């Protein structure tokens, strides 16, 4: 005779209690708070701002551009007139590409007193929604590792926002702002550079705060850091002298190497001369190349 199977009548109260416990375990107690789901971990993206940069010009000729409520870019006036561009035949450390030396006449313009800083570049990226990360604790250092086309985009943004013509300096505009009208070798004169005057020869092993060596190394117009610290992008192709702005070298649509000026923190004395010329790829990003801007009078 097989085992006897006992069929028990279901206990409805027991089934209800089992169901209730299972529900509370899965869904949480109705009267007690449940643990929140973890927040999504996403990288915040820059948000375009509605701030419109504004310009004020002082009686002394300095122009201040408010890039944001707490960030200002200072520019100095370079008056119209002639200057000596390039190197003369008697300069022993001059390069062939710096010759012949000629007298060139330029119209008035304003140029950045300092290289564009990380803080100023950050104002641009916030306003335009570009993705960029500012180096930690280096807001007042010159922005580097920005391609020539990034510098052009900064100028385009500022020009559209202010209604002015804003651009990178041409080689001619850069050189006049650096050495004045008397053909001096360096922004401060003809005395050789040293570590007390500029950041060069890798004596600091990196960039320094803009204006750190001012005013002893300033140009005749009061422009700072035109020798050492970081090289500056210009708008110009590296074409032969004499300089002419209508021979195609200022064509911004040509994807060829662009002239950089001023030498950087790794340059020797020869490289920080005001007439020295170098060129780099417009798509490259370099830790010793930054930029400053030029604005034409309104």
Nearest to 226 by CA among 245, 241, 204, 210: 210
> CB burial class (10 A; 0-12, 13-18, 19+) of residue 10?
exposed
Q: Give the pLDDT score at 42.
A: 36
CA distance 88 to 68: 44
Q: Cβ distance 270 to 231 under 8 Å?
A: no
Q: Which two tokens stand for residue 39?
A: 């927040």
CA 83 to chain centroid, in Å, comes to: 28
CA distance 77 to 218: 14
Each residue's pLDDT tens digit, 90-117: 998 999 999 999 999 999 999 999 999 9
Q: Cβ distance 169 to 232 under 8 Å?
A: yes
Q: Give the pLDDT score at 176.
A: 98
Q: Which two tokens stand for residue 141?
A: 């250092």
Q: Give the pLDDT score at 50.
A: 61
Domains in the chain: boundaries: 54-295
- The CATH class given to the 54-295 domain equals alpha beta
- The pairing of beta strand 231-237 with beta strand 289-290: parallel
Q: Cβ distance 265 to 230 under 8 Å?
A: yes
User: What pTM was estimated for this model as a whole?
Assistant: 0.82
Q: Give the pLDDT score at 183.
A: 93
Q: Give the pLDDT score at 298.
A: 79
Average pLDDT per consecutive 10 residues, the chain (298 residues; last block may be shorter): 42 40 38 36 43 86 92 97 96 94 97 98 95 94 98 97 96 98 96 97 97 97 98 98 96 96 97 98 97 95
Q: Give the pLDDT score at 75.
A: 97
CA distance 147 to 242: 27
Each residue's pLDDT tens digit, 148-195: 999 999 999 999 999 999 999 999 999 999 999 999 999 999 999 999
């Amino acid at each position: 005779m097989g085992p006897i199977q006992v069929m028990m009548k279901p206990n409805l109260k027991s089934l209800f209690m089992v169901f209730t416990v299972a529900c509370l375990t899965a869904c949480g107690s109705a009267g007690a708070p449940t643990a929140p789901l973890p927040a999504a971990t996403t990288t915040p993206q820059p948000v375009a701002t509605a701030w419109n940069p504004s310009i004020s010009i002082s009686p002394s000729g300095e122009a201040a551009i408010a890039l944001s409520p707490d960030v200002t870019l200072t520019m100095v006036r370079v008056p119209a007139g002639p200057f000596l561009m390039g190197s003369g035949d008697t300069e022993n450390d001059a390069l062939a590409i710096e010759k012949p030396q000629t007298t060139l006449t330029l119209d008035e313009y304003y140029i950045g007193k300092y290289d564009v800083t990380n803080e100023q570049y950050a104002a641009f990226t916030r306003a335009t929604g570009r993705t960029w990360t500012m180096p930690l604790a280096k807001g007042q250092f010159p922005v580097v590792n920005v391609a020539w086309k990034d510098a052009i985009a900064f100028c385009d943004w500022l020009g559209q926002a202010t209604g002015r013509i804003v651009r990178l300096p041409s080689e001619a505009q850069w050189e006049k702002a650096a050495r004045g009208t008397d053909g001096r070798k360096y922004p401060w004169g003809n005395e050789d550079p040293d570590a007390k005057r500029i950041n060069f020869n890798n004596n600091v092993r990196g960039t320094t705060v803009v204006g750190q060596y001012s005013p002893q190394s300033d140009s005749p117009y009061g422009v700072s850091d035109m020798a050492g610290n970081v090289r500056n992008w210009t708008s110009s192709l590296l074409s032969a002298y004499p300089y002419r702005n209508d021979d195609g070298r200022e064509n911004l649509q040509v994807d060829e190497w662009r002239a950089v000026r001023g030498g950087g923190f790794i340059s020797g004395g020869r490289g920080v001369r005001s007439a020295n010329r170098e060129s780099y790829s417009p798509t490259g990003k370099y830790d010793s190349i930054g930029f400053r801007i030029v604005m034409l009078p309104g």
